Structure 1
Amino acid sequence: MSGTGDELSHRARAMLRAVAQGRAVMSSSCEPDLFIDGVACCDQMTAHALAHGGYIRPASEDGERLVPAVLTDAGRAVLTPAVGHVA
């Protein structure tokens, strides 16, 4: 899961929107767990894929402690409409 984001599911995009809205925290472990609105994300496989694909990252590297999740440049690009795109 990397590249233009065209391969991301609706669920993955919703998870990115939650991160963008500041509603998500995550662990900074090798398999980062994502929590949205204080609840463990129902699809940790997608959360791991978003992290490993370079779309999201922990705001700081603090081991297993939960820290805010932030979008990377790739994650922001997925949420930014393409120029000339007709919805």
Structure 2
Amino acid sequence: MEDHLLNTAKEKLSELVKKNGLAEDASHLYVRSGNVRDQVIALTDELKADVVIVGSRNPGIQTHLLGSEAANIVRYAHVPVFVVR
């Protein structure tokens, strides 16, 4: 099952890259398991990224403007975070 999901993600990313006219090496796929916030922050540190871009959807009463995962990443990240809705 995990292999199927990984292959599907790779195919979708490849289609998106081609659709937008980007070079094949313009994107990278990283797959992690565990707490989303912790994994995003760990990968950000490993890659020495300058910025994190995350999507947010379906805000609830608790998070008002950001999804709970996006809000946690914004709160704990060591670099600027852009949230796309």
- TM-score, normalising length from structure 1? 0.28
More helix by share: 2
More strand by share: 1
Q: Flag the structure with more relative contact order, 1 or 2, with Cα contacts below 8 A and sequence separation at least 6.
A: 1
- TM-score, normalising length from structure 2? 0.28
